[in-house]
Structure 1
Amino acid sequence: MPGDDPLQSPPAAGSGNDILPYRIHVSNKYLDITRQKLELTRLPHEPRSKDWWEPKRQVESLIDYWQEHYSWPDHEEELNSAVPQFRTSFQTPPPVTPVRLHFIHARSPHANAVPLLLIPPFPLTNLSLIRFISPLTNPRDAESQQPFHLVIPALPGLGFSDPLPNSAPPISTTANMLDALMKRLGYPRYIATNSGPASMSPAKIDWRLVKHLSQHYLESCLGVHFISPPLNSPKIQDSAVEWSKWTLARLFSSPILGYSKEDFSASTKPDKSQPKTKRDSPLGQFTSGDWEANTPSYALCDSPTGLLLCVLKTLRTLGPRRELKPDDIITLTQLVWLPGPEAALRFWAHCASQAEPVEAKKPTRKPKVALTVFLGNEEQSDQPKILPHPAKNEYACPSWARTEFEVVHSNRVTGKPGFLAWDRPDVIVDGVRDLAKAILATDKSMQISNPSAIVSQQEVVVQDERPTLAPAPAPTDLSGSTAQGTFGTIAESAEETAVETPSKDPAKPLLGNAIAGEGQKVLLPETPTRPARVESPR
């Protein structure tokens, strides 16, 4: 029964289902500990090798910058003042454990906006995607460019979301939480999208999560946008019709039956950036299969430098087109270091250990999907040949998805995906808009006809016309999750707040100019007129 599922139940006054405004607050004590660890960094001797990446010079420069120039409090203040952040709690399956999910919720000022669930690419957090708020919620031409009510969650255990208990199956539990979150916010129907190449995701987390939403929540998730999905060519035992179409199109190498010329050239093109005898695992880290997460957790929880190396290696594997500045790299590292990396590693390990039985269940009908794939047809002669190699571009013909999905739109994009959210966010935005256009052409049920139906934070925080008193601050914990301390009083405002364009500081491109385009405003959800309840540290 739907009502028996605690994740699906509507929020009750005074329950743990309240949606609370959230402010990041990292104690000075924890920042001091970080500085001390950076000062005591001991880097290994690095013999020169023609086969290995030699990051020592880059790491030394970044450590110096981190200590002497980087200011987390400045970033923290900008995030708190400009990004509409919230947390809400869900009960996981037995043994029942409350899990608080951190999310961004930015409502569009346009009447034709539809709800969008933007899922960060693992292992990035939602705060790495704030540059999407302006183009998705408040485009310059809302008539020709579909606007969205935007929800960007941090997956459990990442950023400022609580980890799942070890007993909870990660993919199905997370998908259930995300679907329940959208309904709790007043979005009974919505669309969802990846924000990174799913084929490069560790343990295929990005692919499995969005696929699970599309197949198991058909009544609420009306469509999804896959980016570079790990599709296989049709097999006769799965779909004789689709196998026949692919066989005929390939036999004649002709753009027929839903296939294009690019499909044949891209699917047979070798990836010159990948030596034939050496292969890296996704993101240059661990291969799929069983591995225990505690050893790297202990190592990385105690070493900001070690975590910085993991970020650098991941970036090198993704191969960004545009170079990230030191401020950007350290901010990405801090968003993992401050909450602690251990929960993300355990989430990864649980996903890699085995597929969940529920993932194999077939839906009652084919979900509607849009796909973005990359042709990989750029010049690759300048790709580095030493380890770690750039991630391989796994091309998949969009029509291959027809075995399991109803493909409503497909985009074939030149080049390789790289660090997509950083290099080419327009590719993600275009794919989502194409999906929304295709869905709305036949089903307008996800359009919000009554904006007041969207849950306002004022309604769920203030109870019985009285403010909720804040508990005494909890003692400081020096584990990996200490950064998630209590937050102070939320700014009091009864009206929707318009966020002006942040100052154009070239040293902070991940944050500056990320919320609103020049001369634009973004409407944020209402904040309570009285002080909000203070949460205890994670």
Structure 2
Amino acid sequence: MSAVAHETGSAVHPFRVDVPDEELTELRRRIAATRWPSPELVPDRSQGVQSATMRELARYWAGEYDWRRCEARLNALPQFTTEIDGVQVHFVHVRSPHADALPLIMTHGWPGSVIELLDSIGPLTDPTAHGGRAEDAFHLVLPSLPGYGFSGEPTELGWDVGRVAQAWAELMRRLGYTRYVAQGGDVGAGVTDVMGRQAPEGLLGIHMNLLVTALGGPQFPTDTEGERAAAAAIATFQASGFAYFLEMATRPQTIGYAQLDSPVALAAWLLDHDTDSYDKIARAFVDGRPTGNLTRDRIVDNITLYWLTGTGASAARSYWDNYGVAAVQARAAQPLPEVAVPVGFTTFPGEIWRTPRSWADQSYPTLSYFNEVDRGGHFAAWEEPELFATEVRAAFRPLRTPQVPEPRR
């Protein structure tokens, strides 16, 4: 990749991670100095992240974990930064060894980072090394959301998924990609959904693994057993698992103080997302039984990235920009058009709710690929990278020819 961006003259700089030893020493000191609450009074996670999970995570983090391993892994990848709309955007850019690879921009979510996508790089960029076909290869662009990880923090309001979507279109243009596809889960699904609605020049199609329209969107049918189960799962999430969402959408700065001051508080906040992923993470620490690639090291890699970059507060503020009162009112006043490009969707069984085909059809008239798989959850690329890559390949396979097939309507 050229060190100078195409056409715009905006510089693209190589990036390398180099954390000073004293920051790692200070991290271990702060973990050791944790003031622990008394244990929860219930046998499950209904009062929050459990004491046994957090104590074992802290013990491992301070005593056995090696950040340098993760740092070396990141530095083995081509990483860059470039300024877009006033924010320094960090991204990993791995070109496939296969010349006809399709460019793909993939967006992480919260409480994740580019780390949750690293295990999918090999299967996506070099499928022949992972049981796939050369014609299914991708050139891969993995940006860090503004305010997350190594990307800069926005210094003004308004960095919602729509503005990020515009930035990603500029990033792909800046890298010289005139035909590309986009994928996302969690917040990344929101970015990808909006990219499909903005339909920037060159975007051929999108794939998601979270139906963002199901929260606060249109009314969906509840006629079948699967539809009723999805509606019930959403109701349960909103009644008992929505605390992190509401806090960050309304008071992100408040929770930011704890995340920036205590590594254990940061870890607890990042772990308390959804029941399926929490249970898998708890098993990895308490029982030593990881699920898929959701291992102790990979979990702590992600938490440590948030700590070392000090992005707990700025990542939380992205929810205020997306889901705060002003943001909701603005979307209601000026709704976006329907997605105009072909849409692929995969339902993973451990997701907060299992999206029925009928809901995806109603949300996306251009739905061209839908599949339900037998394993994986909210962090699909992190947990099941090979299966995730298989789904992404299948969803985008029809879009690789210069003449894009007419989507099913």
Normalising by structure 1, we get a TM-score of 0.63
2:11 is the counterpart of 1:18? yes
Question: Residues 120 and 129 of structure 1 are in contact (CA less than 8 Å); yes or no, is this contact kept in structure 2?
Answer: yes
Question: What is the distance in 1 between the residues matched to 2:132 and 2:323?
Answer: 41
Post-superposition Cα deviations, 1:121-141, rounded to whole Å, max 9, x if no partner, equal 333111331111111111116
1:113-512 counterparts in 2 under 5 A?
Answer: 113-140=101-128, 143=133, 146-194=136-184, 196=185, 201=186, 205-231=187-213, 264-269=224-229, 279-282=239-242, 285-287=244-246, 291-314=250-273, 316-318=275-277, 319-320=279-280, 322=291, 324-340=294-310, 341-353=312-324, 354-355=327-328, 356-357=330-331, 360-362=335-337, 366-374=340-348, 376=349, 392-398=352-358, 400-401=360-361, 404-414=364-374, 417-441=377-401, 443=403
**Which residue of 2 is the match for residue 29 of structure 1?**
22
Post-superposition Cα deviations, 1:454-486, rounded to whole Å, max 9, x if no partner, equal xxxxxxxxxxxxxxxxxxxxxxxxxxxxxxxxx
Distance of aligned partners of 1:132 and 1:392 in 2 relative to their CA distance in 1, 3 Å threshold: closer
2:245 aligns to what SS in structure 1? Answer: coil
Q: CA deviation at 1:307?
A: 0.9
Q: CA deviation at 1:182?
A: 0.7
1:38 to 19, 25, 31: 31
Question: What is the distance in 2 between the residues matched to 1:413 and 1:168?
Answer: 36
Question: Residues 101 and 162 of structure 1 are in contact (CA less than 8 Å); yes or no, is this contact kept in structure 2?
Answer: yes
Question: Residues 102 and 400 of structure 2 are in contact (CA less than 8 Å); yes or no, is this contact kept in structure 1?
Answer: no
Question: Residues 351 and 377 of structure 2 are in contact (CA less than 8 Å); yes or no, is this contact kept in structure 1?
Answer: no
**Structure 2 regions of 5+ residues with no counterpart?**
281-289
Distance of aligned partners of 1:333 and 1:185 in 2 relative to their CA distance in 1, 3 Å threshold: same
Question: Residues 38 and 304 of structure 1 are in contact (CA less than 8 Å); yes or no, is this contact kept in structure 2?
Answer: yes
Question: Residues 149 and 309 of structure 2 are in contact (CA less than 8 Å); yes or no, is this contact kept in structure 1?
Answer: yes
Question: What is the distance in 2 between the residues matched to 1:394 and 1:346?
Answer: 28
Higher relative contact order (CA 8 A, sep 6+): 1
Moved more, 68-77 or 411-420: 411-420
Question: What is the distance in 1 between the residues matched to 2:252 and 2:259?
Answer: 11
Question: What is the distance in 2 between the residues matched to 1:359 and 1:281?
Answer: 29
2:64 to 55, 69, 77: 69
Post-superposition Cα deviations, 1:166-193, rounded to whole Å, max 9, x if no partner, equal 2334222211111111111110220001
1:83 to 63, 67, 77: 77
| One-letter amino acid of the counterpart of residue 74, structure 1 | R
Q: Judging by fraction of residues, say which structure has more helix.
A: 2
Post-superposition Cα deviations, 1:138-184, rounded to whole Å, max 9, x if no partner, equal 11166465000000110000000012232334222211111111111
1:192 aligns to what SS in structure 2? Answer: strand
Taking only the aligned residue pairs, the percentage that are identical comes to 25
Aligned residues: 380
Question: What is the distance in 2 between the residues matched to 1:294 and 1:61?
Answer: 28
Distance of aligned partners of 1:143 and 1:37 in 2 relative to their CA distance in 1, 3 Å threshold: closer
Larger radius of gyration: 1
Normalising by structure 2, we get a TM-score of 0.81
| One-letter amino acid of the counterpart of residue 304, structure 2 | Q
Q: CA deviation at 1:292?
A: 1.8
Question: What is the distance in 1 between the residues matched to 2:106 and 2:147?
Answer: 17
**Which residue of 1 is the match for residue 283 of structure 2?**
none
Distance of aligned partners of 1:269 and 1:152 in 2 relative to their CA distance in 1, 3 Å threshold: same
**Structure 1 regions of 5+ residues with no counterpart?**
1-7, 93-97, 251-263, 377-389, 446-538
Distance of aligned partners of 1:270 and 1:106 in 2 relative to their CA distance in 1, 3 Å threshold: closer
Question: Residues 86 and 102 of structure 1 are in contact (CA less than 8 Å); yes or no, is this contact kept in structure 2?
Answer: yes
Distance of aligned partners of 1:21 and 1:315 in 2 relative to their CA distance in 1, 3 Å threshold: farther
Post-superposition Cα deviations, 1:412-437, rounded to whole Å, max 9, x if no partner, equal 22466343123322343223222322
2:91 to 86, 100, 103: 103
